[in-house]
Chains A and B, each alone.
Chain A
């Protein structure tokens, strides 16, 4: 842990999205917060690499990837997460926007992982009554650390902007960093291929985050705008639910919030955060229930 920051190295020494490059290009300068620290991202006219000034007076390394500006407040201990889909030429690679949410980013990741809310919060799109049961799925640990949930199936009346009828959609979730989750869902036109949605969650503070969405959708008959609008609509259905979760930080003690079978992935996520001693945005075990 770096001296004085109080934030665990797994987060402090990793890359986080802090801005969208298109927005930064338009504004020239964006002031934001990461892990409780204020910073300013600026774009020099002659450079595509933004400079990041910290309130402490220092500077931080920055990179541009997948349409976003990534910053590391400490010493980078690994690369930015790799998304091979983004190299596919038959996909739209869409930055669907960045939304401020008044809740811990860990709650946002967990909500994205949850299938049992789909039929209620996203009724008519990602689920509908009476198809509310989440069939049993598999949860495992990823070789490089993280959680993967496979064999997830859920009936969705309008799974994507190109869907014309309801079907059982195959999902694979991967949590690759404490604040990064990706979902592969079967494409409605070619079920052998997947559309990809990634959430890069920027921990602004322990109880506030910015959700940056990256989508890699097969172009099909879609437009980029349609992909973006669909994602924004779905995410903003979740937002009020997220902001009403209490406590705003994610409790890691398994007795704090009682899980059911459908929460197996969420339980594994919380356990993995606990084992990795991720505390920022969480209520750790040792702080009680």
Chain B
């Protein structure tokens, strides 16, 4: 079984739980005492990931770090439909890579703001929030135009891809860093759609779509 080195409150760990849940891939969670224990910086964990970061997976001895890289691997290895990462579609792969990069930028801004406010990380909070808003504006505009063309998802496809999974968590947790999503209606509609993907699961800070609305 795949082992996931995991921290419950991490959005980057959550996105892997989310994709594996949706794909129905069983996995074992190895809880790392990230806060306040800083076990991800401990000597034993640095042997697994010298960067001292979560998440990491161990798939029968194949060890991989970096949330976005792991999404690519999981979709290629465990999604027989090929829809989450369409390997033969050059344009789709280009778009996915672009939004995976954007997911890292969201981590560096919206997630950093959350770490500052909630766990007291020493970041420039104004800069983090301004960076998150700049990204959310781009995201909102992109999604609005996609909706006009009848596309629900980030990569202009009829089916969600790993790009949606990659960008979703720290957008959804942004208010914990003081970044409101009120000015971004297309983003809010998109996060609601992600919540209705069959197999969707929650994490602390992210609730499911209301049952009444899905009927």
Taking beta carbons and an 8 Å cutoff, which residues of A are in contact with B? Answer: 20, 22-23, 26, 32, 95, 97-102, 225-226, 228-229, 232-237, 239-240, 243-244
3 shortest A-B CB distances, which residue pairs?
Answer: A236-B204, A237-B204, A97-B36
Chain B interface size, as a band, is 10 to 19
Nearest residue, chain A, Cβ from B211: A129
Tell me if B183 is interfacial: C-beta within 8 Å of chain A.
Answer: no
Q: List 24 A-B contacts (CB under 8 A).
A: A22-B36, A95-B36, A97-B36, A98-B120, A99-B118, A100-B120, A225-B31, A225-B33, A228-B33, A228-B37, A229-B33, A232-B8, A232-B9, A232-B35, A233-B9, A233-B204, A236-B9, A237-B204, A239-B204, A239-B205, A240-B176, A240-B205, A240-B207, A244-B175
Q: Which of B8, B36, B37, B175 contacts A243 (CB 8 A)?
A: B175
Contacts of B205 in A (CB 8 A): 236-237, 239-240
Contacts of A23 in B (CB 8 A): 36
- The secondary-structure label for the interface of chain B is loop
Tell me if B51 is interfacial: C-beta within 8 Å of chain A.
Answer: no
What is the bound-complex CA distance between A99 and B117, given in angstroms? 8
- Asked if A240 and B117 make an inter-chain contact with CB atoms under 8 angstroms apart, the answer reads no
Contacts of B35 in A (CB 8 A): 97, 232
- Asked if B8 and A99 make an inter-chain contact with CB atoms under 8 angstroms apart, the answer reads no
Contacts of A225 in B (CB 8 A): 31, 33, 37
Contacts of A226 in B (CB 8 A): 31
What is the bound-complex CA distance between A211 and B14, given in angstroms? 23
Question: Besides A32-B120, A239-B204, 14 other CB < 8 A contacts?
Answer: A26-B38, A97-B36, A99-B118, A102-B178, A225-B37, A232-B9, A233-B8, A234-B204, A236-B8, A236-B204, A239-B205, A240-B207, A243-B175, A244-B175
